[in-house]
Amino acid sequence: MLNLKSKLSTSPEASKSSRISIRDKLLLREVQEMEQYLPKTCTSNFEDPNILHDFTITICPDEGFWLGGHFRFHIDVPEDYNIVPPKVHCKTRIWHPNISEGGEVCLSLLRQNSLDSLGWAPTRTLKDVVWGLNSLFTDLLNFEDPLNVDAADHYKRNSDDFKAKVTDFILRYAKR
pLDDT in tens, the chain (176 residues): 445 545 444 434 444 446 889 999 999 999 999 999 999 999 999 999 999 999 999 999 999 999 999 999 999 999 999 999 999 999 999 999 999 999 999 999 999 876 667 889 999 999 999 999 999 999 999 999 999 999 999 999 999 999 999 999 999 999 87
- pLDDT at res. 98: 97
Which secondary-structure segment (H or E) carries 42? strand 42-45
Q: How many domains does the chain have?
A: 1
The DSSP 8-state label assigned to residue 21 in this structure reads: P
- pLDDT at res. 8: 46
Residue 38 lies in a domain: yes
CA 48 to chain centre: 18
Could you tell me the strand order of the sheet in which 54-59 lies?
A: 42-45, 54-59, 71-76, 87-90
- pLDDT at res. 174: 96
Tell me the C-alpha distance between 105 and 87, whole Å.
9
Residue 16 lies in a domain: no
State the residue range of the domain holding 131: 21-173
| pTM, full prediction | 0.88
CA 110 to chain centre: 9
Helix/strand/coil percent split, the chain, to 5:
35, 15, 50
Tell me the C-alpha distance between 143 and 146, whole Å.
6
Residue 29 lies in a domain: yes
Residue 115 lies in a domain: yes
Residue 10 lies in a domain: no
The CATH number assigned to the domain holding 156 equals 3.10.110.10
Residue 14 lies in a domain: no
Which residues have a catalytic role annotated? 106
- pLDDT at res. 114: 66
Dihedral of the CA atoms 165, 110, 3, 44 (nearest 10)? -20
Burial of 113 (0-12, 13-18, 19+ CB in 10 A): exposed
Residue 92 lies in a domain: yes
- pLDDT at res. 20: 84
Residue 6 lies in a domain: no
